[in-house]
Structure 1
Amino acid sequence: MKIKSFLAKPFAHYIYKGIRKGMTTAVADQENILKELLKIGKATEFGKDHHLQEVNVHEEYVQAVPVRDYEQFKPYIEKIKEGKHNVLWKGLPIYLAKTSGTTSGVKYIPISKESIDNHINTARNALLCYIAESGNTTFTDGKMIFLSGSPELERIGGIPTGRLSGIVNHHVPSYLRANQLPSYETNCIDDWETKLDKIVGETLDQDMTLISGIPPWAQMYFDRLMEKTGKKIKEIFPNFSVLVHGGVNFEPYRTRLLESIGGKVATIETFPASEGFMAFQDSQDAEGLLLNTNSGIFFEFVPANEVFNANPTRLTLKDVKVGENYALLINSNAGLWGYNIGDTVKFVSTNPYRLVVTGRIKHFISAFGEHVIGEEVEQSLIKAAEEEGVHITEFTVAPMITQGKGKSYHEWFIEFENKPANLDRFAQKVDVNLRNKNIYYNDLITGNILLPLHIRPVKKHGFIDYMKSIGKLGGQNKVPRLSNDRNIASALEKYVE
């Protein structure tokens, strides 16, 4: 046993013990975080605008601070970009995380001296929980790859600015730096396919033990390795034992990824965002991700059906219920207040507080009043794929609106790894699954308002070609599962078989 893996186990147990203790104090920890945020926030420009000096409890906070998305926060962000201090949080942010918004174009999310630990330590804690539970420390002695954006940073208003994954790259602990791949130079390459070839070249003869990345981009890495060698990933990297993933729901990618790996590995799911690291998988045996209740973020939860209301209900942790769909709001020590991050979540446990991500608020289809969400389409497709022995590479869904009753339908663009033997039968199964999950969709079908869904097979690498065409190939970019318009669907037409 090498020194790194020898030391990892006691450290993991120490951290894990603290996390277990935090499970029992989550509600109290959340209340304390709100008090601390208000104490500092009242002296900021935002705090003065919203009279935070008069706020002491959550009920008063709800009255003082409305729910906002990025567009509504933008005037404050613009002042920070001009170099102004004490706008949303004390001083200046130490970074601005640059991220692509679905409606806002490029977004700039502040990261403060106080909030950076949330991003760094949560990723660490996910691995330490795995070590404490499994006893596996050998992966810490091998090479680790983090498929991420470029670590090169620009300056805006004197503040270092770049992709979150690139920012975090600068904070990899020194004891892991020697294990980290790819090289800094390769990580700085902007063109994803050029970068991917370099990554393959740098890792092919290494003892890779941990691989981390968004599932579709991890799959591209695996595909490129298999094309080059003709071997499964575990044949290339026999000591590969941990796959860390996040950014999108893992389930649609699980079967193909694990088949590509060709052997047993542990998978650790995370829920990071530029706005904060929300949750992480703390156990291989329990469903859901442990909410990060003591890491500088005060969470609020809005019932999903109220999210577009002028004054929605805003629940705290003690009020949430298992099985309900909530829009997630955060208030953080980076200076985000009543901030709607755009994700919906559902608790699978309140002792401890574990949740699953169910979709994006703006990614839904309700062109006919059905309000179909990401969780429903993913589960409907996965069930049919399992029954038919079909592997899915990527997919997205959009409404097809035509004139005349009973002629419109949902159009599914699916890239298959292996096509169903009978596409019509497969489409029927997906449609039945979705009807069973969404009563409104079922009513529209039975009422002859909608036709059953149509599937358009996308050619091999079609989604990759599409992402390349819009300059979003690689990094943290992903294809939306659903759209309530035809923008993505129209662009995908040229990639249909």
Structure 2
Amino acid sequence: MKFKSLLAKPFASIVSSKIRKEMQRAVEDQDAILEDLVKTGRNTDFGKEHNFDAIHTYNEFKAAVPIRDYEQFKPYINKIKEGRHHVLWKGQPIYLAKTSGTTSGIKYIPISKESISNHIDTARNALLYYMSETGNSSFADGKMIFLSGSPELERIAGVPTGRLSGIVNHHVPRYLRTNQLPSYETNCIEDWETKLDQIVEETINQDMTLISGIPPWVQMYFDRLIARSGKPVGELFKNLDLLVYGGVNFEPYRAKLMESIGRPIHTIETFPASEGFIAFQDVQGGEGLLLNTNSGIFFEFVPAQEIFNENPTRLSLKEVELGVNYALIINSNAGLWAYNIGDTVKFVSLNPYRIVVTGRIKHFISAFGEHVIGEEVEHSLMKAAGEEQVRITEFTVAPMVQTNGELPYHEWFVEFETMPADLATFAARVDENLRQKNIYYDDLLTGNILQPLKIRPVRRQGFIDYMKSIGKLGGQNKVPRLSNDRTLAEQLMQYLQ
């Protein structure tokens, strides 16, 4: 056993013992967090507007603070971007995390001095808990790679601003810096394929023991390694112990990732978000992620079918039930109040509180982490149609992952009433519109992770015939604008022109 793994084991034991105690007092911790949040928030603009001085119970909090999404929160964020202090939380944020929202385009999520530990410590705790559970700490002695965004940050009103993964990169503990790959310079490369080639160059001869990232990006890294070395990843990195992932559904990628490695290894699923690190996998082979109940976030849960009601049911942790699909609402020491992050979860255990992520509130595509939603595709298509005087009957969009060696892409199935004069030119217009609407999608094309979208013209009446074939013609039935799998797409192939 080497030095770092030797030191890590007692630290892992201390942290895991603390987490197990927190499992037993989750409800009490949540009550205390809400009390502390309201107390600190009283002197902010938000707290004064919502009469925090008069809030002493959760019921009073619910009565005073309505649920909001980012669009409704935007006026407060705009004040922060103008340089105002004490808007949502005391002082100014120490960072703004820049992200694509599910309804609002680019979002700027505040991270405070108090909340940064939620992001950093939870990532650390996930690894330490794994050490304690499995007894495996050897990965701490090898090289670790975190496939992330650029750590280069811009400033808005003096506040450093960038992708969450880039922000977190600045807080990797000093004792892990010598283990971390790729280099800072490589991490700053914007073009993904150029960056990936350099990552391969820096890692192919290293003793890689831990790899972390969004599954499709990890798979692209593996593909490059195999092409370069002619060996499975697990043979190339003989001490590779652990794959840490999050961001998208892992299941579509699991089989190919494990085939690329060539042998089974442990995995840790995490649920990080710009708004907070929500949960992490605490048991190998078990179902669900342990909810992060003592890290500056007070959670609320709304039955998903009620989330768009004027007065939805709002539940604290002690009121939740197994198997119910809940919209996740957070209140945090970053200054987010009754904030709807757009994710839905179900509890698979109440002792301890473990969740599975069931999806987003609305239809979406995020096969590669792009978080494209219905409003964005509708805007992109209809803007191009208006510019070229093209009339659209119906459409839907799905990801194309398996491309026989080509880059993946979004596949658009469009029934035209009047065809564009040049379909390729029209598709390029739609693609550019979507790039302007969604920064993640733009990043993926800029980085050569995706190729531009492709349009498949559906024959006249094709969507009607399809809906008829599945017994859903008429009434309230609708064709989904977006699907995150290819079930609908494959069925539509028989209706192409």
Structure 2 equivalent of residue 128 of structure 1:
128
Query: How far apart are 1:194 and its partner, in Å?
Result: 1.0
Q: CA RMSD in A?
A: 3.3
Report whether the alignment pairs 1:485 with 2:456. Answer: no
Structure 1 CA distance for aligned equivalents of residues 284 and 121 of structure 2: 19
Larger CA deviation: 312-321 vs 281-290: 281-290
- Contact 1:364 1:484 survives alignment (8 Å): no
Structure 2 CA distance for aligned equivalents of residues 199 and 133 of structure 1: 31
Structure 2 equivalent of residue 337 of structure 1:
337
Structure 2 equivalent of residue 232 of structure 1:
232
Q: Deviations over 1:251-285 (max 9, x none)?
A: 12111111111112110000000000000011113
Query: How far apart are 1:409 and its partner, in Å?
Result: 10
Report whether the alignment pairs 1:214 with 2:231. Answer: no
- Contact 2:364 2:373 survives alignment (8 Å): no
Structure 1 equivalent of residue 184 of structure 2:
184
Structure 2 CA distance for aligned equivalents of residues 156 and 81 of structure 1: 6
SS at match of 1:311: coil
Query: How far apart are 1:236 and its partner, in Å?
Result: 1.1
SS at match of 2:144: strand
SS at match of 2:79: helix
Choose which of 407, 411, 414 in structure 2 pairs with 1:461. 407
Structure 1 equivalent of residue 171 of structure 2:
171
Query: How far apart are 1:413 and its partner, in Å?
Result: 4.9
Structure 1 equivalent of residue 402 of structure 2:
416
The 5-angstrom pairing of residues 30-429 of structure 1 reads 30-363=30-363, 413-416=399-402
1:415 is aligned with what amino acid?
Answer: V
Report whether the alignment pairs 1:472 with 2:472. Answer: no
Structure 2 CA distance for aligned equivalents of residues 276 and 224 of structure 1: 32
Report whether the alignment pairs 1:8 with 2:8. Answer: yes
Structure 1 CA distance for aligned equivalents of residues 450 and 350 of structure 2: 30
Name the TM-score, length of structure 2 as normaliser.
0.78
2:5 is aligned with what amino acid?
Answer: S
Larger CA deviation: 279-288 vs 82-91: 279-288
Q: Deviations over 1:431-479 (max 9, x none)?
A: xxxxxxxxxxxxxxxxxxxxxxxxxxxx84232898997523189x999
Q: Deviations over 1:36-55 (max 9, x none)?
A: 00000111000011111111
- Contact 1:397 1:483 survives alignment (8 Å): no
CA change 1:410–1:102 in 2 (3 A) is closer
Q: Runs in 1 of length 4+ with deviation above 6 angstroms? A: 394-400, 407-411, 464-469, 486-489
2:57 is aligned with what amino acid?
Answer: V
- Contact 2:397 2:481 survives alignment (8 Å): no
Query: How far apart are 1:487 and its partner, in Å?
Result: 11
Structure 2 CA distance for aligned equivalents of residues 76 and 411 of structure 1: 34
- Contact 2:141 2:179 survives alignment (8 Å): yes
Query: How far apart are 1:35 and its partner, in Å?
Result: 0.1
SS at match of 2:348: strand
Query: How far apart are 1:156 and its partner, in Å?
Result: 0.5
- % identity of equivalent residues: 66
Larger CA deviation: 460-469 vs 323-332: 460-469
- Contact 2:145 2:211 survives alignment (8 Å): yes
Structure 2 equivalent of residue 422 of structure 1:
none
Structure 2 CA distance for aligned equivalents of residues 415 and 183 of structure 1: 29
Structure 2 CA distance for aligned equivalents of residues 97 and 24 of structure 1: 32
Query: How far apart are 1:223 and its partner, in Å?
Result: 1.0
2:407 is aligned with what amino acid?
Answer: H
- Contact 2:398 2:410 survives alignment (8 Å): no
Q: Deviations over 1:468-496 (max 9, x none)?
A: 97523189x999xx99426999xx99xx9
Q: Deviations over 1:368-402 (max 9, x none)?
A: xxxxxx9xxx9xxxxxxxxxxxxx9x9999999xx
- Contact 2:38 2:52 survives alignment (8 Å): yes
CA change 1:261–1:275 in 2 (3 A) is same
Q: Deviations over 1:204-252 (max 9, x none)?
A: 1111000000111111111111122221101111111100000112112
Name the TM-score, length of structure 1 as normaliser.
0.78
SS at match of 2:270: strand
SS at match of 1:473: helix
1:461 is aligned with what amino acid?
Answer: L
CA change 1:396–1:415 in 2 (3 A) is farther
CA change 1:486–1:166 in 2 (3 A) is closer
CA change 1:486–1:36 in 2 (3 A) is closer
Structure 1 CA distance for aligned equivalents of residues 112 and 353 of structure 2: 26
The 5-angstrom pairing of residues 8-27 of structure 1 reads 8-27=8-27
- Contact 2:102 2:373 survives alignment (8 Å): no
CA change 1:222–1:483 in 2 (3 A) is farther
SS at match of 1:121: helix
SS at match of 2:442: coil
Structure 2 CA distance for aligned equivalents of residues 207 and 227 of structure 1: 18
- Contact 1:396 1:414 survives alignment (8 Å): no
- Contact 1:397 1:410 survives alignment (8 Å): no
Unaligned runs of 5+ in 1: 366-373, 379-391, 401-406, 419-458
Pairs aligned (count) = 419
- Contact 1:395 1:414 survives alignment (8 Å): no
Q: Deviations over 1:164-187 (max 9, x none)?
A: 101100000000000000000010
- Contact 1:395 1:415 survives alignment (8 Å): no
CA change 1:417–1:266 in 2 (3 A) is farther
SS at match of 1:210: strand
Structure 2 CA distance for aligned equivalents of residues 314 and 397 of structure 1: 25
SS at match of 2:443: coil
Structure 2 CA distance for aligned equivalents of residues 396 and 417 of structure 1: 20
Structure 2 equivalent of residue 28 of structure 1:
28
Query: How far apart are 1:103 and its partner, in Å?
Result: 2.6
CA change 1:21–1:342 in 2 (3 A) is same
Structure 2 equivalent of residue 382 of structure 1:
none
